[in-house]
Amino acid sequence: MSVKNRGIFLDRDGTLNEDIGYISKIENFHLIAGVKPALLLLKEMGFKLFVVTNQSGVGRGIIAEEMLKSIHHRMVEEFQKDGIELDAISYCPHRPEEKCLCRKPQPKMLKDLAKRYGIDLKKSYLIGDKISDVLTGKNASCKTILLLSENEGVNLDEDDDEWPFPDYVADNLGSAAEWILKDSGVLESMKAEMGIKRKS
């Protein structure tokens, strides 16, 4: 089974790097421990990796757009050092008041990437640390994973119709990747392939 037409849409702040508010300097960009092996696993499974991030600091004049691009360039380089190729990074630079079409939880960034890269959204996953990320994934018909690292206070049992139940709740990106390995059927097909190889 090929997963070439399947994507992992990754939130940035609080999912890949420490969320310390608006990051307007490269020195303040720090990857979360365990992120690299998790992305490597997803990449080895064959998924395309996309970063989808709201960066309203640009629209607010807190982050220069050129600086945002430099930070992303640095992130790409850091991942490349370990053999992880990101397929694309999309960001929304707008302020909420601008009522743009791209700011999460609207699904436009995901839908545009899906069109450009031939991605089957229903077989793809969104991973993020906020409820709005879960909503974004649902709005794009993806499966969703909520990371608890920054959200330990969220009450998952709350009986609220508005609560967008994620398909999975994970403590970190590593356990999210392991869940995807099973949920996507990739693990099964890997086992099957190994079985075929043993017989021949």
Using CB under 5 A, count the residues that bind Mg ion: 4
Question: What is the x/- site pattern for Zn ion, positions 101-140, by CB under 5 A?
Answer: -xx-------------------------------------
Binding status of residue 129 toward Mg ion by CB under 5 A: yes
148 phi and psi angles, rounded to 5 deg: -90, -10
Binding status of residue 14 toward Mg ion by CB under 5 A: yes
Please pick, from the candidates 3, 39, 89, 92, the single residue that binds Zn ion as defined by CB under 5 A. Answer: 92
Beta-sheet strand order (sheet of 143-147): 88-92, 48-54, 7-10, 125-128, 143-147, 168-170
Closer residue to Mg ion (CB): 3 or 130: 130
Binding status of residue 100 toward Zn ion by CB under 5 A: yes
User: Which residues are within 8 A (CB) of 123 and not within 5 positions of it... i.e. 6 or more apart?
Assistant: 3, 5, 6, 184
Binding status of residue 13 toward Mg ion by CB under 5 A: yes
Asked about 13 being catalytic, the answer comes back as yes
Task: Give the catalytic positions in this structure.
Answer: 11, 13
